[in-house]
Amino acid sequence: VSSREFSWLPSEKKAARADFEGAFKRECEAIRHEVEVRLKRSKDPSEIWRVHDYLTAKRDEMDRKYDYRYSILIGVFGRLLRKGWIAERDLSALRGDKVEAIKFMASI
Amino acid sequence: VSSREFSWLPSEKKAARADFEGAFKRECEAIRHEVEVRLKRSKDPSEIWRVHDYLTAKRDEMDRKYDYRYSILIGVFGRLLRKGWIAERDLSALRGDKVEAIKFMASI
């Protein structure tokens, strides 16, 4: 399933953008929570550099993962669905063939 | 005042190393505190990336600043004294000429 086959209606683009931003926000919140937990768990002053390493790795991962281009969006959404950053109900504004393709990408 | 003029007794080296590590630890604690304050102040999920930028800059600064070589240690201690990361009383195990040189470096 190549996402290049799909055309996106304006209403779908709007919904997709909101889904994408919602997932990004939720994942940032999870990263933030992890930082807070690590700081709470260890009072070692050098913990801050391990937090820095963690954030450097996460930022790199997020930059690669949150790439909003329609030509690859089915795959991006597939990964977000698989990891739970978007839910199937978030895809209700998309046409059925896109939803099926996203679910397929999430399953592989 | 070139610190190359100074020779370091074993007892001075031991005290200097402890002062250096104490200053590093205090400064890490201050950085950690600043991170905690920033996270408390802003609940924006993206705050985590501003924290990352802050830690990247601080880590670079700390790497440059905490350079333990006897040939430059008078200057390093001068800066730490000026910024308050070590106190004059921390220098009591050092010979008077070194203390004077460190205080001179702190003053310029």
The DSSP-derived string for B29-59 is: HHHHHHHHHHHHH---TTHHHHHHHHHHHHH
Decide if pLDDT at A8 tops 80: yes
Residues of B in contact with A56 (CB under 8 A): 52, 56
Residues of A in contact with B52 (CB under 8 A): 52, 55-56, 59
pLDDT in tens, chain B (108 residues): 554 579 999 999 999 999 999 999 999 999 999 999 999 999 999 999 999 999 999 999 999 999 999 999 999 999 999 999 999 999 999 999 999 999 999 998
Q: Which residue of A has its CA nearest to B43?
A: A29
Question: Which two three-digit tokens encode residue B22?
Answer: 């104490």
Question: Quick check: B38 and B47 in contact, CB under 8 A?
Answer: yes
The reported pLDDT for the residue numbered A5 is 77
**What's the Cα-to-Cα distance from B84 to each of A21, B30, B79, B81, rounded to whole Å?**
44, 12, 9, 5
The reported pLDDT for the residue numbered B2 is 54
Phi, psi of A13, rounded to the nearest 5 degrees: -60, -40
ipTM, interface predicted TM-score of the complex: 0.86
The reported pLDDT for the residue numbered A83 is 96
Q: How many CB pairs under 8 A join A and B?
A: 49
pLDDT, tens digit (0-9, with 9 covering 90-100), for A31-84: 999 999 999 999 999 999 999 999 999 999 999 999 999 999 999 999 999 999
| Closest C-alpha among A11, A6, A18, A32 to residue A68 | A18
The reported pLDDT for the residue numbered A62 is 97
Decide if pLDDT at A2 tops 80: no
The reported pLDDT for the residue numbered A30 is 96
Decide if pLDDT at A98 tops 70: yes
The reported pLDDT for the residue numbered B37 is 96
The reported pLDDT for the residue numbered B27 is 97
Residues of A in contact with B53 (CB under 8 A): none
The reported pLDDT for the residue numbered B13 is 97
Which H or E element spans position B79? helix B73-82
Q: B37: distance to nearest CA of chain A, Å?
A: 12
pLDDT, tens digit (0-9, with 9 covering 90-100), for A87-96: 999 999 999 9
Q: Which residue has the tokens 């994408």?
A: A20
| Closest C-alpha among B85, B105, B103 to residue B94 | B103
Could you count the other beta carbons within 10 Å of the beta carbon of residue A93?
16
> Is B45 in Cβ contact with A32 (below 8 Å)?
yes
The reported pLDDT for the residue numbered A4 is 56
